């Protein structure tokens, strides 16, 4: 099917966006933050929202109830953009719909803080959340999921594997149009060529910013397809029909399934990259967050 009319309308209403470069990055960060309410609305009421210090890493906790399971949320933005405020409305809805405490981690961004800084922050925060934080905030450390979108999907996929490797695996993982393969061709039949080329240019800048020279991009921390995937938690992998990341997300879902991981893969037809944040713009975004929340409820029960 073609681009959904709601997506076409959003693209038509948006100002032309420049490609990501070192010079444009401050403007793109400000633009993403300023547009959060237009895309996601004000969010919804959650019983308790608080910023906490997780051993030096800022984490925002969304708690719809006094105690229960935990969802670790890792925002997108190409490892170079995005923050807690940009994703605040989405995290509010995710907590309210799933019934779980959502912990959004304010990991450091590239290029100021390249790999492995983001993983260092995530590991520090997760260790705190499953230890001291669990005791202080009524979190069940034995029922923990990890969720991320785009570059956050990459961070979530790798985090699930890293914690499995140390014998403290997650209960569930949800990967929303994840970045998986630094060498993917980014082919996407039907995606308008100008959108594809912008995604390719942005992707190249983001990878180069995230991974400093001297690191092997074939390492499983950077290319999750190269990891041993057996024994990972059940996965929901969400992709968008008109997204240059669609093929690599689907390839990862296939690889998980071949490794024996219970995997559900769903492609939202007519949608483009980043649709998941568009809770006030796209019916598909509201359907997707409902599906994600239902999956989390079931897996964390």
Q: How far apart (Å, rounded) are the C-alpha atoms in residues 257 and 235?
A: 9
For Cα atoms 33, 37, 39, give the angle at the middle one, nearest 5 degrees: 95
* 222 bridge partner residues: none
Q: Catalytic residue at 150?
A: yes
- The dihedral region occupied by 148, where left means phi > 0, alpha psi between -120 and 50, and beta the remainder, is beta
- Its sign, for the CA torsion 10, 13, 18, 23, is negative
CB contact at 8 A, 285 and 5: no
Q: Catalytic residue at 83?
A: no
What is the 3-class SS of 112-179, one letter each residue? CCCCCHHHHHHHHHHHHHCCHHHHHHCEEEEEEEEEEECHHHHHHHHHHHHHHHCCCCCCEEEEECCC
CB contact at 8 A, 239 and 272: no
Q: Catalytic residue at 273?
A: yes
Q: Of the listed 98, 150, 172, 209, which one is catalytic?
A: 150
Q: Of the listed 88, 106, 243, 274, which one is catalytic?
A: 243
Q: Is the peptide bond before 111 cis (omega within 30 degrees of 0)?
A: yes
CB contact at 8 A, 182 and 142: no
Write out the catalytic residue numbers: 150, 243, 273
């Amino acid at each position: 099917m073609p681009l959904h009319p709601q997506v076409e309308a959003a693209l038509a209403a948006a100002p032309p966006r420049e490609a990501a470069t070192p010079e444009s990055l401050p403007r793109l960060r400000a633009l993403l933050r300023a547009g959060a309410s237009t895309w996601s609305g004000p969010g919804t009421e959650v019983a308790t929202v608080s910023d906490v210090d997780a051993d030096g890493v800022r984490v925002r906790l969304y708690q719809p109830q006094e105690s229960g399971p935990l969802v670790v949320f890792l925002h997108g933005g190409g490892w170079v953009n995005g923050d807690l405020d940009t994703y605040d409305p989405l995290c509010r809805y995710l907590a309210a719909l799933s019934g779980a405490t959502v912990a959004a981690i304010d990991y450091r961004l590239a290029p100021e803080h390249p790999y492995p800084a983001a993983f260092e922050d995530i590991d520090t925060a997760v260790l705190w959340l499953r230890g001291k934080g669990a005791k202080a905030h009524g979190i069940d450390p034995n029922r923990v999921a990890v969720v991320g979108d785009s570059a956050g999907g990459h961070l979530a996929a790798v985090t699930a594997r890293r914690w499995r490797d140390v014998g403290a695996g997650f209960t569930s993982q949800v990967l929303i149009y994840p970045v998986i393969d630094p060498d993917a061709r980014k082919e996407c039949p039907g995606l308008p060529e100008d959108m594809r080329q912008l995604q390719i240019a942005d992707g190249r800048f983001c990878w180069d910013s995230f991974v400093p020279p001297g690191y092997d991009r074939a390492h499983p921390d950077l290319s999750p397809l190269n990891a041993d995937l057996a024994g990972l938690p059940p996965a929901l992998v969400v992709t968008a029909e008109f997204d240059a990341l669609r093929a690599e997300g689907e390839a990862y879902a296939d690889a998980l399934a071949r490794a024996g991981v219970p995997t559900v893969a769903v492609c939202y037809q007519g949608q483009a990259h980043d649709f998941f944040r568009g809770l006030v713009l796209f019916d598909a975004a509201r359907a997707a967050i409902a599906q994600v929340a239902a999956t989390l409820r079931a897996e964390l029960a």
